Structure 1
């Protein structure tokens, strides 16, 4: 390595260039830095430690620049020294000069730790962010674990790839977020990085004798061995390393982090003081270091039935994974129908069902599943929707049906819309081309029969008949492509198309009372449903002929003009007979019987056939039934969810009136913890707002705290959306300052110290001074520099007692917490 002084930014603590250029790492003390006093108090120990170890140095001027941001090159140098990494040169970085001072450090730490930062580049001068720093430290020290990041107000700003590294860093105490802040994408300072490295070393560099940490039975076929250090994956997978009294081991599966091994046995694992042996196993960090041999007597019996862990459904297959190996699946049903044995296979923990259809919803019921301890599970129900297969190489096929002049095309899968060239000037966006005789049709969005199933199309080809009432013709379907772009083969068939010459007939009539009945009014709007044998258009007059046995010769007429197709059951779909149903708005009386007459020629089907005669029918009515509201998980906080009154009080508002569940402290957490003991909750201004009064001293740091609510129900029975709702509460520290010490300055002046600095105050109130037991007059009193300074009018002696009393004073700390009432004496 030549020119090692090029671009040097590290903390060399001597002024000699010879030491900088040498391969010897100078040992320094943080006190030798010219700017050592500017190092934050929380970082001084870490900087001292790392400089003593030679991991960090200063520049030729003896500067450390603690608040300065860190470059990747500097981080690489620190990590390569702290981890004692050797240069391996596993990747050629286009922007790293082999003559640069950091060259070997880069080769030692990247790509293993920095991954080259992309595109084969290291970008040595680029500044390191907190999330990048967490990544290289976690990977470098092979830290494991996971923490809850919800305590950090801005953790959600972390890049997706960085979340696991940040969680691990927090779990191991590497990052404490400076309170509630994490600022993952902010640049990291030298003193911050030094502190992270020191904390990591403290957490990981401990004398640990590699050994088995614990052994426990998981189920009737599996036993888990946990280690206190990561073990070598190859050595730990050797089944001969383990012995369990009374059973043979068929498989040893090592976890990804090397901290545990799952042993699978050949028969039921049931032990009563059974001996378990784990022979010495090589460790991951050093294969020459082995774990201690482990021997222990354990008792275990599996008494927990099997359950489902996960479901993965894709293409035509669903794989249901259980939480333990299954001896017998019992009975398996699909959408209520029992499956034949050839439709599924059971292997270990997985049940594989085949013959499914992509993008279809299924329910699988498993009844009587039995594990290897013969525990029988309660019925298990699994609901899922099958995803499309990742790779689709099959061509779409089609089946057809003809009814009159209507032709239905049912494709095997969803089609892709693309351009069809009609002529030199015209193109049509469609899904397939259909030729009926010599007449051409194109399947478009308008021809999809059901928006829920976009694989079925229907056209009315009556134009292909011309003046004929029927034709025997060839029909050809071509040009169809599936969503993966696979083109389907052209399909041809012969069919007879015949015009519909039969008028529609009325199939059924029913009523529904939509409003509470007012027999003295004629403005109530109820519903009369007329269902015909096919889709129709109705344009005519509906006349009441009789009501409750009374005949009417005139009046009681309703004009009807409507097309068939109404969602009678209100499920959001027009399906089945609803496609042939017309809704008539009409005033009906409850609990009545009617005879209606629909005028002649009022009904026309889609083929133009007219029902020539009048249509007479009878109906009876019921009573109006108000639809009860169905509770949903829709309850949320209001538009302005939180109003903070002072350091101890804030009010939370819900979007709807809530029950007493909202005043139950057990239904909330604040900052990821239970509400402080003594917190009071009370409804204010109605039952939408809940006031929270926190006990004094419960908030020790300013910041945004996540308030999470669970189990709260509104007055209509609606529960919280998604099971819980959260909002941020900006709280300030609410620890009140307390007087701690009185110090005499001279015969007329003394100072009062507090548990924390109090705000400057030129005219303190609520302060009483007693000297030698008597209240004295004050010449002046003021707060400066966090202390109260008092001057009396008369002198006092050094031996006189001084008592300062505070009552309802105006003295406050920086967060406006008033000084606690009480007294302090000298």
Structure 2
């Protein structure tokens, strides 16, 4: 068959569309031809005439019963093929097709190019010969690429009268409904009317995509293939596909309607991995072809790239999916920053497919210009267990060139959702929407653990939700957005973003109902801004319906007494950024029937009905009826790890949650490695917010294994993990158990690495900051480098001393460091430690530095800069007044002491009569002398040092800094203000 252009293949693949177009065209009235009325082919003739594929004769007739010639068939098919983009084949002429008949010559060349019709064994086309019905069957099947199902059974009675070559074509017409007669009459000539019906019915055939239409199979990864079909698939089923020796998990349509041809891309996900070095064939509906084959290459697992994506994270990209256990093991990596090993400062590693995200501890950050080298050991394995090639990166320079920014902002109906280009601090100075300052000045992290996807939310009041949810474009502005590590440039003074709210056109619906704890669940909705128009929650346990208490903004934190017991309360909110309603069922009153949980019940299934809710566009949501199962927490405290603190003579047993109280000494039995019982001196819990560690103090501790037996019911959580509000469920207690306590290689556990004590910072007198740590501190508390103001080092000349005892530190700042009185942010780094080496932090959970805002006072002295004689005009030769200018404004409302100044004229000291503020500027004073002086003489004015003539200097600025300096009056002209 001759080459067919993509446009023709698209035409063939899209015969359904062609049929739709054809059926959409109203048939031309049969009266257009004088001899068509009443013919069974009238509508089909009209359809082809309307599309311009067929024409009548000059006398106004169509002659539907006249036999069709090969030349007429070629002309009609050429018109169809030209619409599909097929062009005439060069040099495709036949000796019996005269070039003078241009239309026929072009038509013959086109059908030959498409492979639809050709010549005989003598090379002639025979344009005037009639075409038989069996010949027409072949031409139609070839033109429209019709296929016959393998299980087709023919009902044609005269198939044996057809040539052997034609029988398959005739059955194909039958299978596709192109011919409907049981008697086909294969040797008869086809009439012009029959031809019209053949073509229209063939155009109406919906071509079924088969395995023969697979053009390519692409290997995406070891469990993903993409199969491209030449044709349109509107739906796919997993059972239609098969890969020998491989179990298929799912199939989905990825893409359809490619640029030039109607193609469908199907994504196949497998449960079992495809093996390297093997070939696989994809079969579709039991069939396959050579083009459905895919080879899985053998790939040597290795590291492809290493990069620092922000100041606290390094992204390692492999060329294959890796084993999460070995790839997340810190021991399999070595990190050096500026030549210093920092492997022990890796906090955790998150593995996702081909990537490993290395997160550093809070005390370690990359600064711009830092150089690092990362080594990945060959003990990391790929998903098949093969070793990764040992890798050592070149020296990589870390550079931060931009401040953090908002990548994307959206509004979900109840809160703002903001995506940043790096992890950012959750506390900011101000957040605005359309110029309106929000009540909240904090960001809540939703997902800050995935590279390039740092998502935070901002909670909004009801009034703010109305503002943020209006149809149109909104601007979000954040003041002082900082990244989490303080790497410069780490602060965006102003970060902006926009989002658009479009007109809502869909009603809300319930997406899911999620159990949260023993008496609380969440109804997730399709959109935010949804309101309840009446008591729309119906909660049933069996036949019993709980009473609806109504909307409670505290989510039942203040219910559970009196008439509010054993009722349903609800409140709009979000869960994981998704909008919906929280629902709480409170504890029944004593003796009340039908409690949420019956005797010995640990779970309960409730029937939930939710209706009469609408979105902000007043679309009413569909009624929801379903169930939710709530469960009591049956978990009991478990030991996560143990350690021996030989310094403090303690056995440390760390549980998986905070405990309520420590077991008493009679509740445990301690034995040494020889089995000898040892009596503890003290048994208690770790101090601070973290009370998950039982500390057993002995009179003497050795670095050897101990065993500790806990009696049943002596250890319980401080709060049930599956915590509830307004419902009295006791915390679960432990079973009797024995644990072995051993020393570990890594002592940096949470209960010894960071202290729970929070420093208290106060501003002392001017130039002094006092920090009360509450515990004895080490020398690191005196290191100036461990403190900063507004993210900058303390001013040069700052001194730090212990004050009173080693629990209090006093920072003395140098004179002249602060020009104005304003707020500063003091940061105490986590490198500050107690005398026992325990770090000081601001937040024990996030282990971030301690920060506080304090006010520092202006400590720059006003300096006398200039003196002028105060004269009325340039002709004046004498005056008693001098205008004195200072470097900054002076304190208003102060009565100045004449003893604070000394005035000399030509070496002679003058008596000062009075001193007052200038009426023009706060930085000016007017000094009036008792005697008149010559303005042509030089006068010198100086601030008298404290203690020379008086004990108090009254020449001060608003922060009470005492003025200093001297100046000489030499000008005899008026200043710009007429002085």
Task: State the TM bucket, normalised to the shorter chain.
Answer: 0.3 to 0.5
Structure number with larger C-alpha Rg: 2
**TM-score with structure 2 length normalisation?**
0.27
**TM-score with structure 1 length normalisation?**
0.32
